[in-house]
């Protein structure tokens, strides 16, 4: 018998039921790292599995003031669970503002490849429509739109130099002002957050394995994702998001990009190594491809994990249980 109870008036709404699996997931997607493909999948999966897909209409504001952080965290935290929130936004520390830290997931790609994709996408869009790029960059001057990529790099235009090239790390470092400064501090903080707050950071070059692991770790969200991804009809939609008119810079220009993006590459190879360790733990083999040549001075590629990894015999299911207790 409920009657005319004043419980809600005195105590506020009852607490949300805690679900027996990660019910708060954030995908703070990195630009030009396959996120539009993944969001297409999430829209299908949310209808199939009944979770709340929370998206944002804000696409170009990744750095937030303290008040903006508080407001966004409040809005996310009060969403109906289970939810998966997705937006281009640098890492948010929910616990700093008294909230429950959600499970984070993300995907990154080779930094030069990401930069080139973004450079030409801003100018010429993708196969979804000829005018797509005009909508995104309506005020871009014609001489800027058709600026040769080699000229941009070799003549040190702002778009092709730091801090513009320091792009991936801040998504994992966070909202602190030093996260925007290319250097060891931001790099190490980004690595720490990957280890402590991200369930999975995959690499786009091995997207099918990323999807397989997401299905294993978060079945309530991603069960059946690979069959959807491989469906010919979905592939047609995915092909429409491919950037058009991309060209490859000269070897000299690429070497300069490597120099300018050395911290980005150190982070990328760290994530790639961790991803391969995770794949081995769950029985997925890494198909080793011959690495692309890199300048002699540059960060060496980490050892590929072809041998079984001895993690002090940590049980796979125990590892997943610990994740589910976050």
Predicted pLDDT at 172: 98
276 is catalytic: no
Highest mean pLDDT among 32-41, 167-176, 290-299, 316-325: 167-176
pLDDT of 67-96, one tens digit each? 999 999 999 999 999 999 999 999 999 999
Is residue 97 a contact partner of residue 66, using CB atoms and an 8 Å limit? no
Residue 241, C-beta contacts closer than 8 angstroms, at least 6 positions apart:
36, 37, 126, 127, 128
Please state, in angstroms and rounded to a whole number, the distance separating the CA atoms of residues 125 and 129: 8
Q: Is residue 134 part of a domain?
A: yes
pLDDT in tens, 200-231: 999 999 999 999 999 999 999 999 999 999 99
10 lies in some domain: no
pLDDT at residue 20, rounded to an integer = 57
The model's pTM is 0.81
CATH of the domain at 61: 3.40.50.300
User: Angle at the Cα of 106 (from 105 to 107), degrees rounded to 5?
Assistant: 145
Residue 258, pLDDT > 80, answer yes
307 in any annotated domain: no
Q: Where are the alpha helices (DSSP H) in 175-261?
A: 184-197, 207-217, 219-222, 225-230, 232-239, 251-260
Q: Is residue 12 part of a domain?
A: no
Q: What is the domain count for the chain?
A: 1
Considering the domain boundaries, does residue 325 fall inside one?
no
- Averaged pLDDT score across all residues of the chain: 83
- The single residue of 11, 59, 88, 220 carrying the catalytic annotation is 88
Q: Is residue 231 part of a domain?
A: yes
Domain of 129 in residue numbering reads as 24-284
**Measured distance CA(257)–CA(263) in Å, rounded:** 11
Least Cα distance to 114 among 196, 47, 20, 29 occurs for 29
Can you tell me the distance from the alpha carbon of 168 to that of 30, in angstroms, rounded to the nearest whole number?
7
Would 291 be classed as within a structural domain?
no
Does residue 326 sit within a domain?
Answer: no
């Amino acid at each position: 018998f409920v009657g005319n109870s004043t419980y809600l008036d005195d105590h506020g709404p009852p607490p949300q039921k805690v679900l027996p699996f990660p019910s708060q997931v954030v995908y703070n997607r990195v630009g030009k790292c396959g996120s539009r493909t993944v969001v297409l999948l999430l829209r299908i999966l949310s209808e199939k599995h009944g979770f709340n897909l929370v998206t944002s209409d804000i696409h170009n504001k990744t750095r937030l003031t303290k008040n903006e952080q508080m407001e966004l965290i409040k809005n996310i935290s009060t969403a109906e669970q289970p939810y998966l929130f997705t937006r281009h936004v640098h890492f948010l520390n929910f616990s700093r503002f008294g909230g429950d830290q959600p499970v984070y997931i993300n995907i990154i790609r080779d930094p030069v490849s990401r930069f080139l994709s973004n450079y030409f996408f801003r100018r010429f869009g993708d196969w979804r429509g000829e005018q797509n790029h005009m909508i995104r960059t309506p005020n871009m001057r014609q001489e800027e739109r058709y600026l040769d990529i080699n000229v941009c790099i070799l003549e040190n235009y702002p778009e092709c130099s730091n801090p513009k090239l320091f792009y991936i790390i801040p998504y994992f470092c966070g909202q602190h002002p030093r996260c925007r400064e290319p250097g060891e501090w931001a790099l190490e903080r980004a690595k720490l957050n990957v280890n402590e707050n991200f369930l999975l950071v995959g690499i786009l070059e091995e997207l099918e394995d990323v999807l397989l692991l997401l299905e294993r770790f978060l079945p309530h969200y991603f069960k059946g994702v690979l069959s959807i991804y491989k469906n010919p009809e979905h592939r047609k939609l995915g092909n429409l998001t491919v950037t058009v008119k991309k060209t490859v810079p000269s070897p000299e220009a690429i070497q300069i990009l490597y120099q300018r993006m050395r911290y980005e590459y150190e982070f990328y190879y760290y994530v790639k190594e961790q991803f391969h360790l995770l794949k081995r733990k769950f029985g997925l083999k890494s198909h080793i491809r011959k690495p692309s040549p890199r300048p002699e001075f540059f960060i060496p590629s980490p050892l590929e994990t072809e041998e079984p990894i001895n993690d002090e015999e940590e049980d796979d299911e125990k590892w997943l249980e610990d994740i589910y207790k976050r």
